[in-house]
Amino acid sequence: MEPWTTQLTAFKETLTSQWDTLWRIGQGLAVALLFDFVVFLGTRLDALPSDIVFNAKLLIGLAGLTATWLLLNLLPVSAWLATWSTRLNPTALGTAYRMFLQPHLGWLKTVMILLLTDLSLLIAPAAGRLKGLEFIVALGLAIAIGFLGTGIFRSYFSNYLLNATVKTGTKTSSELLILIRLLTNIGIIVVTAIIFAQTHEINLVGLVASLGIGGLAVAFAAQKVLEQLLGGVVIYLDRPFVVDDYIGLEDGTFGRVESIGIRSTKIRTSGKGTVTVVPNNALTQANIENFTDAKKVISLFNLTFYRTIPSEERALIRQVILDSTQDIFGIDSRSTSVSFRNLTLADQQEVTEAQISFFILGTSAVSLDLRRQLLDIANQKITQQLKQFGIAFHCEAPTIYVDSPMTI
């Protein structure tokens, strides 16, 4: 058995380490005793004004205020939360407490104080001043809950969602993360406001209707913006394309998706290098062809003319070729090229040869084969139009198709 001096020293060290807590608890008990003494005087002395009524509900309400102060200002609530989370699951709950709750203990204590204060005022007599005070306290409680909820989600967003996105390597647009954070914060605020309005019998529908013509004008002005925002949500949910995908639209726009924003999508146009900004609501109603992981087929064929072709006729031939393939979807008309060169045959005859290259884009063998057939029809159309202009030629060799991965 340890000597009594060692035990006394250990007790002294424990008392010293816990002195601050014991002193604060003692202060709270003193306040409680003083409160009980005041209540005793109020119920026993006849010298107080006759319009002051001390009943059970009022005493319980005042006792609740005192208990609130004792609970949150004297007792180590944050230490209890940390110890409780660590004992249940040292790894998961302890980490969650440090990441999500510990940075917002101030707001958590504020919410608890206002909550207990509001409950104390609710059970007190429905006097005019107390009712007005309860409304103010409840409004502060709603605001504190909103700050606490958005703060906890901000910690969750920063410590979990962003890290998970980086670790998985998912091609997630920064605008999508901003949209998720914005919608969640708005949802927390809206839910808090609805709960506050319902508990205090505030008619939100009537409040919105009271905005009248001004609110209606704002609604009409924001209609297009709202359509674009909803279009962005549909694109995020349906995912017809993601960032870095190559897509083609019906109006001929073709390029790489640079970003998917809340209101619009930016496409880096192939060939030109310019950025096309398309509203999201227009993309939800358009036919989109995604060429990601697709194949590119280069179609080559040569035309040999029986004479030397001057520059004016070369421009005409080039325009005929481009017009014949302009309306074939899946052929990148911007990559179509026509090159001319003069040749001298064995009999010293000078002729002009034109090499034409087309780029056929597709995602499957069936689509590529179909577009090859369409291109053959376009070649026949080119032949007929050139003959109508009196330009004679013949094909040196059949059309050559070269398959390769698409690198645009």
Residue-wise pLDDT for 314-371, tens only, equals 888 888 888 877 766 667 777 778 888 888 877 778 888 888 887 776 555 545 565 6
**Cβ(235)–Cβ(290) under 8 Å?**
no
Q: Which residue has the higher pLDDT, 259 or 43?
A: 259
Instruction: Give the CATH number, domain containing residue 253.
Output: 2.30.30.60
Residue type, 201: E
Tell me the average pLDDT across 294-302.
70
The CA distances from residue 337 to 255, 309, 341, in Å, are 18, 17, 13
Per the domain annotation, does 40 fall within a domain? no
Per the domain annotation, does 25 fall within a domain? no
| Same structural domain, 79 and 128 | yes
Tell me the average pLDDT across 252-263.
82
pLDDT at 226 over 80: no
Tell me the average pLDDT across 283-287.
85
Mark which of 206, 223, 251 sits at the end of a domain.
Answer: 206
CB atoms closer than 10 angstroms to residue 148? 20
**pLDDT band for position 307 (cuts 50, 70, 90):** confident
What mean pLDDT value characterizes the chain? 70
| Same structural domain, 257 and 115 | no
The tens digit of pLDDT for each residue in 360-382 reads 765 555 455 656 666 676 777 78
| Same structural domain, 145 and 180 | yes
pLDDT at 160 over 50: yes
Q: Which residue has the higher pLDDT, 31 or 348?
A: 348
pLDDT at 170 over 60: no
Tell me the average pLDDT across 171-185.
69
Per the domain annotation, does 78 fall within a domain? yes
| Same structural domain, 275 and 333 | no
| Same structural domain, 174 and 118 | yes
- pLDDT recorded at residue 1: 45
- String of DSSP letters for 265-325: EEEEETTT--EEEEEHHHHHTS--EE-TT-EEEEEEEEEEESSPPPHHHHHHHHHHHHHHH
| Same structural domain, 141 and 71 | yes
Per the domain annotation, does 189 fall within a domain? yes
Per the domain annotation, does 385 fall within a domain? yes
Per the domain annotation, does 2 fall within a domain? no
- pLDDT recorded at residue 42: 45
CA distance 71 to 309: 97
pTM exceeds cut of 0.95? no
| Same structural domain, 105 and 165 | yes
| Same structural domain, 93 and 74 | yes
Per the domain annotation, does 77 fall within a domain? yes
- pLDDT recorded at residue 41: 46
**Domain around 382:** 295-405
The CA distances from residue 168 to 160, 178, 220, 266, in Å, are 12, 18, 41, 24
Q: What percent of the chain shows pLDDT beyond 90?
A: 0
| Same structural domain, 315 and 386 | yes
Per the domain annotation, does 36 fall within a domain? no
- pLDDT recorded at residue 206: 66
- pLDDT recorded at residue 346: 73
For the chain, the domain total comes to 3
Q: What percent of the chain shows pLDDT beyond 70?
A: 53
- pLDDT recorded at residue 48: 44
Handedness of CA 372, 377, 381, 387 (dihedral sign): positive
Q: What tokens were used for 138?
A: 């409840």
| Same structural domain, 66 and 138 | yes
CA distance 263 to 277: 10
| Same structural domain, 171 and 250 | no
- pLDDT recorded at residue 20: 57
- pLDDT recorded at residue 47: 44
- pLDDT recorded at residue 137: 83
| Same structural domain, 279 and 302 | no
**pLDDT band for position 129 (cuts 50, 70, 90):** low
